[in-house]
Amino acid sequence: MSKELDWEKIKERKVLISILCVLGCIVLGVSIIQGIQKVQNNHSDDILRLHVRANSDLKEDQEMKYHVRDWIINYLQPAKDQINSQEQFIDFLNINKNTIEKDLHQYLKKRNVNKEAYVNIKTKEFPTRRYRGEVIPGGEYEALEVVIGEGNGSNWWCVLFPPLCYVDLTVAGDSQKDDTKQEKPEVKFVVVDWLFDLLS
C-alpha cells in the first residue's frame, strides 16, 4: 500500500515539475523574443551594411565580387576614420556617391572588366545573422549597395558601420555571407534539458 502511495506521489511530482518547466519555457521564450526585438530596434538605428551583388555566379564574376569588396572597403577607410555615426556615414556617401561610382568604373576598366557598376544607399531587408559572436536580428537596415553588371549572382555583405568590415579583411572568409541563406539564432535550454532527462 505504501509503495502505491509513493508511486502516486512520484507521478504527481513529475506532472508538477513538467508543468513548471512548460511555464518556464513560455516565460523565457517571451523574454527572448522581446530581447531580440529590442536589439533589432537598437541595431537598425546605428548599423550601416555593405552589400555587394555579383554580376552572376560564374567563377570570374564571383572573384570580381571580392575584388570590388576589397576595393570599396579600402576606398572608404580614410573617411570611416573621421565618422562617428551611421547618419554621418550615410551623409558622406550621399554627397560622394557620384565620385565613388566614377572611381569604381575606372577600377573595373583597369581590371579589363567591361561591366557597369552602380552604387546606391537604400533600406534593404536582411535575414538574421550570427556575426562575429553577436546575433544581428533580421529586418530592414540602411545599406550601401554595390551592384556589378546585372547583379544576378550570389551576394556578399558585412557591417560597414560600426567598422566590422575592416576587421574581417584580416580574417579570411569570416564574413562572406550569401543573403539567400537565412540563419536563425539557436537557443539551448540547458536546465530544461536536464530536468527532462531527470524525469525520463
138-159 tens-digit pLDDT: 889 999 999 999 999 999 888 8
Pairing, β 155-161 against β 48-53 = antiparallel
Pairing, β 129-131 against β 48-53 = unpaired
Q: Is the pLDDT of residue 191 over 50?
A: no
| Average model confidence (pLDDT) across the chain | 75
Q: Is the pLDDT of residue 11 over 90?
A: no
Contact 54, 155 (CB under 8 A): yes
pLDDT for position 80: 82
Most confident of 69-83, 92-106, 157-171, 175-189: 92-106
User: Helix (H, G, I), strand (E, B), or coil: what is residue 63?
Assistant: helix
Residue 161: which pLDDT band, with cuts at 50, 70 and 90? confident
pTM score: 0.63
User: Helix (H, G, I), strand (E, B), or coil: what is residue 122?
Assistant: strand
- Nearest CA to 143 among 126, 128, 123? 123
Output the nine-digit C-alpha cell for 34: 522581446
Gyration radius of the chain's alpha carbons: 25
